Amino acid sequence: SNFWPRPGRLKFQSLGTAPTVRMAGSGAAPLSGVLVVDLTRIVAGPHCTKILCDLGARVVKVELPREGGDMLRMFAPRVDGGEATTSSAYFAQLNGGKESIALDLSIDPTTAQPNAPADREVFERLLSKADVLVENFRPGRLGRLGLSWDVLHARYPQLVLCSISGFGQTGPYQSLAGVDTIIQAMSGFVHTTGFADRGVKVGTTVSDLLAGVYAAVGVQAALLARAREGQARRVDISMLDTSFAFHAHDLSMFSVRGQEPVRLGNQGSVSPTMGIWRCADGEEISVATSPFDVDEIADALEAPEIKVDERFRGYDAMLENKEALWETMGRAFLTRPRAAWLERLRGRRWAAGPVNKMADLAEEPQLRHRQMLRRTADGRFLLVGNPVKVSGVAEAEGAPPPPALDGHGAAIRTELGVPNTLGEPSPGGTRVSRL
């Protein structure tokens, strides 16, 4: 295909190196050599830059001292010991491996000049070396800081800008605040999740996280386009867009049949033999098998009544009578403990798995084998690992720690040839690679 650049044409322009990913064999981390300036906070933006960091990019987190840095530093749960600004386990999950510098980027509204010119100079020098700037301010805030896309693109033509917001940079809702629960409600997640009498939100902050994943994809696409065309682009990510994009099946049903999605609780949406059932020991099991082999279903569950009941003879009949089928399957699952069902059904090549609690997941052997459970060297945090496994690249032992607020400030200023204007050396973070 002519779309993808030939080997050797991908030449990113920054010289920064990533602090947390190590090579195995001759393969470099995929984003090695990419410098990302991270002007984000809370969840969606930091999730994006954490993905880029895990893939080998060097990420410099720029925090605003007038706002106390990233607000996520104050979120529960917090752990004792160590530097105070790194006590939040939630902050550690999304920021491990990044570097932090505190810079006052505010503008005096009366003079339209920076309140802290020295900090502004540091930031501008960072941008001159960077490949990517990621921000998740409400639309318009970046412009009020004198950093609109037009200004940035003219001054730093190599710089990809990724903007993440609730509703995007355009449209009638662009100025509205968008947080996870609101986006879940507006995008369809709440309407399609839960039981018949009431919708519920997804347990995790799915709209924040989806925006972060799509933003990371968009950044990498923009870097490929830059390598091919020599032109940086802006990536505009809307949380509403990225959450709505996960409702393709529901939209298809509505557009073709005029049907609103029916909340099914723990039942499968397309197969009457897919769902979650309670077992004899009170534990729950998730099961999926083909609805087209009635005899196998009856034999595996030791429920011969399924085989002879005319209501279950064939896929269409099962769909029409799925509540009765579910009750029959439910009675069968109550005859054995979960472990026995898992052994029996997996032995018959059914897809089956336990409904895991966090205590189960923390000891899950499959996750441990794939290094998805990693502890920081100081033992303070058990963190989620990098789910993107790339051949030729080995993950470092343990999890990279979160940065202290301005923990790399003095080192980065020295690197950029700017005096440390804060009066005191910044704590920690002394590892520096050349910008």
Instruction: Note the pLDDT tens digit of each residue in 154-197.
Output: 999 999 999 999 999 999 999 999 999 999 999 999 999 999 89
Domain match, 75 and 186 both = yes
- Domain assignment present for residue 80? The answer is yes
pLDDT band per the 50, 70, 90 thresholds, residue 430: very low
3-state helix, strand, coil in the chain (%, to 5): 40, 15, 45
Whole domain around residue 317: which residue ranges? 274-278+284-354
Q: 310, 337, 354: which is the final residue of a domain?
A: 354
- Does residue 57 carry a pLDDT above 80? yes
DSSP result, 125-146: HHHHH-SEEEE-PPTTHHHHTT
Residue 402 has pLDDT above 90, yes or no: yes
Does residue 399 form part of some domain?
Answer: yes
List phi, psi (to 5°) of 156: -130, 80
pLDDT, mean over the chain: 89
Q: Are residues 215 and 296 in the same domain?
A: no
Per-residue pLDDT for 32 more than 90?
A: yes
Residues 21 and 274: their CA atoms lie apart, in Å, by: 40
24 located within any domain:
no
- Confirm if 65 and 74 have CB atoms less than 8 A apart: no
Give the other-Cβ count within 10 Å of 398's Cβ.
15
**How many structural domains comprise the chain?**
2
- Compare 62 and 429 and report the one with higher pLDDT: 62
Examine residue 263 and state whether it is found in any structural domain, yes or no: no
Assess whether 344 and 237 both reside in one domain. no
367 domain residue, yes or no: no
pLDDT score recorded for residue 18: 42
CB 243 within 8 A of CB 189: yes
- Paired residues of 394 in beta bridges: 22
Residues 53, 188, single domain; the answer is yes
Judge if 239 and 139 occupy the same domain: yes
151 and 39 in a common domain: yes
Phi, psi at residue 291, to the nearest 5°?
Answer: -80, 0
